[in-house]
């Protein structure tokens, strides 16, 4: 590096104006030692997570002990393509024991090559040889992507690993033989140890300090460039990223669609949507679950229930958006409505409106789901509904049973959310809130425990309902586009409905929430008391993988059988299905709807 003194204004330079040339300062290095451990599948399939699980099951343990050395820290910082050295060894008994690193290359924060993604990779390429002379190549990358600040540890400690036969450069990978693939991770205790191994060859403390600071600024700066984008950018745009419009009715073709809003006796606006393809002696009314809406019955990405009924002789279908529908903004605010309100005010009024619209002599059937099913049966057994021809109940009715973790959540979540965290509702789309928001932080925290998919709204639904990864449905039963838009199909809700369900779970059957409240004096304290009087045939339906209400409808079927012998009730257990996917799965029209249709026709 050359330096020069400032020229004097005099034509004759002074003795002090000499140009000084000196040797280039010696490069200052920095190094640290890291260990990563995990499992690989032999041979691999390039599906890293599946191969990790398969390798773990088979005991194909792999670990490495590497010293990463940056020879010239300053040069490394200013050139993103500059490489560091990796020195050490790799051990994997199924591959041949311990391999020494003949040559190792390390890249930090290289562009992933995906133009539309805010994603960078930390790359490792190790050329390895064991005592027997076997040569292999380990290639690994850490994917650092804009998936939230709370995921920094997961991203920077997870190495997606591929092992090739022989020494393989990056360009030769497509034709190289893959020996195994899997995942390695840095354990927390190993990371703490790694922090104590940072070394520099700086001759002075100042040089060593500067080298460490330069490397630290490079590392943290790249992390901020990736993870901080959501705080720097126009995050409200995330709310507009969707494949299908919100509240669309495009999934029902060739029908006359009409809206029928009404106000309940306790002054709440609710409504029905009528999908009429043709005149029909049999009318079907659909009731969604809590936080969903009519949308779950009219999804355009697959054959939906309304369309299926139209195509099979049921030309007059109504969908009832009761007060728990995500279509109503009052669910965004704290309230104290309970399921007694729905049973007393919503369902009877909806049935009355439909009867007035379709005229006398029509047979009316209900298909009810989740909390909509619970509320319907509460109204039916309270004697508020008469003349119902048949009922199809999905997942739960009057005997709610939930997993243990769900019981714990029901016990503490309403008070914690409303009283401590001061949330007005629980919303599956909290992750997409712009800027800093408490709901957003909670959503990101929840996602730390859900690695089964990359959809934050799906993670929040598992918090809101049930116990599982995921809880509400089986991933394989949903179309990809449905999974991407679950935040549009499930909305926010206030917490008081959960309190009523908690009370019923404790008693193992639905009971009145406030027995002394005179508004509900026409409702029974225990709803199952009216089971012996119900003559309406019921199809109790549930998935065998129901992780929200477990075997609730199986128990209901057996309970109704004991309380009302000789009834025409039936039970259908859908193999491979959960709670929600029975009615909105990509193959529901083949696996589920025919059974509903069979039951309806039997009673039409």
pLDDT in tens, 70-87: 888 776 766 666 788 999
d(CA 362, CA 282): 6
Which residues have CB under 8 Å from 311's CB, separation 6+? none
Model confidence at 7, pLDDT cuts 50, 70, 90, reads: very low
Give the pLDDT score at 150: 65
Is residue 225 predicted with pLDDT exceeding 70? Answer: no
DSSP assigned state of 171: G
Mean pLDDT, rounded, for 125-130: 95
d(CA 144, CA 362): 60
- Picking from 58-62, 228-232, 458-462, which range would have the lowest pLDDT averaged per residue? 228-232
How many C-beta atoms surround the C-beta of residue 328 within 10 A?
A: 17
- What DSSP string runs through 528-541? GGGGGG--S-EEEE
Give the position of tokens 């033989």: 177
Give the pLDDT score at 587: 97
Let me know if 292 is exposed, middle or buried by CB neighbors in 10 A (0-12, 13-18, 19+): buried
The pLDDT tens digits of the residues spanning 9-57 come to: 334 334 333 434 344 467 888 899 999 999 999 987 768 888 999 999 9
Is residue 293 predicted with pLDDT exceeding 90? Answer: yes
Closest CA to 59 of 180, 188, 162: 180
The pLDDT tens digits of the residues spanning 188-201 come to: 888 888 888 888 88
Higher-confidence residue: 541 or 120? Answer: 541
How many C-beta atoms surround the C-beta of residue 105 within 10 A?
A: 16
CA separation, residue 454 to residues 247, 450, 480, 483, 570 (Å): 24, 8, 12, 10, 38
Let me know if 547 is exposed, middle or buried by CB neighbors in 10 A (0-12, 13-18, 19+): buried
- What DSSP string runs through 284-317? EEEE--TT--GGGGS-TTS--HHHHHHHTT--EE
Give the position of tokens 């309940």: 264
- Picking from 19-33, 134-148, 408-422, which range would have the lowest pLDDT averaged per residue? 19-33
Please check whether residue 184 is in contact with residue 90, taking contact to mean a CB–CB distance below 8 angstroms: no
> Of all helices (H) and strands (E), which one includes residue 275?
strand 269-276
How many C-beta atoms surround the C-beta of residue 481 within 10 A?
A: 15
Is residue 389 predicted with pLDDT exceeding 90? Answer: yes
Is residue 185 predicted with pLDDT exceeding 70? Answer: yes
Report pTM: 0.66
Give the pLDDT score at 80: 61
d(CA 29, CA 583): 61
Give the pLDDT score at 433: 82
Mean pLDDT, rounded, for 518-535: 95
Closest CA to 491 of 331, 279, 347, 309: 331
Give the pLDDT score at 544: 98
The pLDDT tens digits of the residues spanning 250-266 come to: 999 999 999 999 999 99
Please check whether residue 350 is in contact with residue 376, taking contact to mean a CB–CB distance below 8 angstroms: no
The pLDDT tens digits of the residues spanning 465-492 come to: 999 999 999 999 999 999 999 999 999 9
CA separation, residue 142 to residues 38, 107, 479 (Å): 14, 10, 29
Higher-confidence residue: 395 or 242? Answer: 395
Q: What are phi and psi of 136, to 5 degrees?
A: -140, 165
**Cα-atom radius of gyration of the chain, to the nearest Å?**
32
d(CA 450, CA 150): 12
Closest CA to 138 of 171, 175, 170: 170
Give the pLDDT score at 27: 83
State how far Cα 212 lies from the chain centre.
38
Closest CA to 266 of 167, 338, 168: 338
Is residue 222 predicted with pLDDT exceeding 70? Answer: no
Give the position of tokens 């104290």: 336
State the chain's mean pLDDT as an integer.
89
d(CA 410, CA 5): 76
Tokens of 396: 């739960």
Model confidence at 419, pLDDT cuts 50, 70, 90, reads: confident
d(CA 405, CA 413): 11
Give the position of tokens 């997570």: 49
Is residue 499 predicted with pLDDT exceeding 60? Answer: yes
The pLDDT tens digits of the residues spanning 424-451 come to: 999 999 988 876 778 888 998 999 899 9
d(CA 446, CA 58): 31
Give the pLDDT score at 78: 65
Model confidence at 412, pLDDT cuts 50, 70, 90, reads: very high
Give the pLDDT score at 148: 62
d(CA 82, CA 227): 23
The 3-state DSSP class for residue 580 equals: coil
Mean pLDDT, rounded, for 403-424: 92
d(CA 367, CA 362): 16
Long-range residue pairs from 261-265, CB within 8 A, at least 24 positions apart, any chain:
262/349, 262/350, 262/353, 264/323, 264/345, 264/346, 264/349, 265/345, 265/349
How far is the first Cα of the chain from the last one, in angstroms, to the nearest whole number? 93
d(CA 470, CA 458): 7
The pLDDT tens digits of the residues spanning 554-590 come to: 999 999 999 999 899 999 999 999 999 999 999 999 9
Is residue 305 predicted with pLDDT exceeding 80? Answer: yes
Which residues have CB under 8 Å from 68's CB, separation 6+? 31, 32, 33, 34, 84, 85, 86, 106
3-state secondary structure 338-380: CHHHHHHHHHHHHHHHHHHHHCCCCEEEEEEEHHHHHHHHHHH
């Amino acid at each position: 590096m050359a330096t020069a003194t400032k020229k004097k204004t005099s034509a004759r330079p002074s003795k002090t104006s000499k140009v000084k040339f000196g040797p280039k300062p010696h490069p200052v290095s920095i190094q640290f030692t890291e260990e990563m451990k995990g499992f690989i599948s032999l041979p691999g399939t390039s599906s890293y997570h599946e191969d990790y699980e398969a390798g773990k099951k088979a005991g194909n343990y792999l670990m490495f002990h590497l010293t990463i050395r940056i020879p010239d820290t300053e040069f490394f910082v200013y050139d993103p393509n500059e490489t560091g050295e990796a020195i050490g060894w790799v051990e994997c008994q199924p591959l041949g024991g311990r391999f020494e690193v003949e040559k190792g290359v390390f890249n930090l924060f290289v562009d992933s090559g995906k133009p539309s993604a805010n994603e960078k990779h930390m790359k490792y390429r190790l050329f390895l040889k064991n005592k027997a002379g076997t040569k292999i190549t380990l290639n690994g990358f850490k994917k650092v992507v804009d998936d939230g600040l709370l995921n920094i540890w997961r991203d920077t400690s997870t190495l997606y690993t591929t092992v090739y036969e022989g020494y393989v450069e990056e360009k030769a990978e497509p034709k190289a033989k893959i020996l195994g693939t899997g995942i390695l991770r840095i354990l927390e205790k190993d990371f703490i140890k790694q922090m104590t191994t940072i070394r520099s060859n700086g001759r002075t403390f100042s040089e060593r300090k500067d080298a460490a600071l330069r490397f630290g600024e490079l590392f943290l700066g790249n992390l901020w460039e990736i993870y901080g984008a959501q705080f720097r950018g126009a995050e409200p745009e995330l709310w507009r990223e969707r494949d299908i419009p919100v509240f669309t009715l495009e999934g029902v073709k060739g029908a006359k669609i009409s809206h029928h809003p009404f106000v309940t006796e306790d002054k709440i606006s609710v409504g029905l949507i009528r999908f009429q393809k043709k005149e029909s002696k049999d009318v079907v009314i659909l009731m969604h679950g809590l936080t969903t809406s009519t949308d779950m019955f009219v999804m355009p990405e697959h054959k939906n229930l309304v369309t299926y009924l139209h195509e099979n002789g049921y030309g007059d279908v109504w969908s009832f958006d009761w007060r728990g529908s995500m279509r109503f903004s009052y669910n965004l605010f704290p309230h104290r409505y309970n399921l007694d309100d729905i049973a007393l005010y919503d369902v009877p009024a909806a049935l009355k409106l439909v009867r007035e619209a379709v005229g006398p002599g029509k047979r009316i059937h209900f298909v009810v789901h989740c909390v909509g099913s619970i509320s319907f049966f509460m109204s039916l057994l309270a004697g508020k509904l008469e003349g119902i021809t048949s009922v199809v109940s999905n997942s739960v009715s009057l005997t709610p049973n939930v997993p243990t973790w769900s019981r714990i959540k029901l016990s503490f979540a309403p008070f914690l959310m409303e009283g401590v965290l001061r949330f007005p509702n629980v919303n599956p789309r909290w992750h997409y809130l712009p800027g800093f928001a408490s709901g957003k932080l909670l959503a990101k925290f929840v996602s730390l425990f859900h690695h089964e998919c990359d959809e934050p709204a799906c993670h929040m639904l598992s918090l809101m309902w049930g116990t599982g990864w995921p809880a509400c449905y089986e991933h394989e039963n949903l179309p990809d586009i449905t999974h991407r838009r679950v935040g549009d199909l499930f909305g926010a809700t206030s917490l008081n409905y959960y309190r009523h369900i908690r009370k019923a779970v404790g008693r193992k059957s639905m009971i009145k929430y406030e027995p002394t409240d005179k508004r509900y004096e026409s409702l029974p304290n225990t709803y199952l008391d009216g089971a012996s009087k119900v003559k309406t045939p019921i199809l109790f339906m549930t998935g065998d993988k129901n992780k929200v209400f477990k075997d609730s409808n199986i128990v209901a079927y057996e309970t109704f059988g004991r309380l009302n012998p000789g009834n025409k009730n039936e039970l259908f257990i859908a193999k491979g299905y959960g709670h929600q996917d029975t009615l909105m799965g990509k193959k529901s029209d083949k696996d589920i709807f025919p059974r509903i249709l069979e039951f309806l026709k039997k009673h039409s």
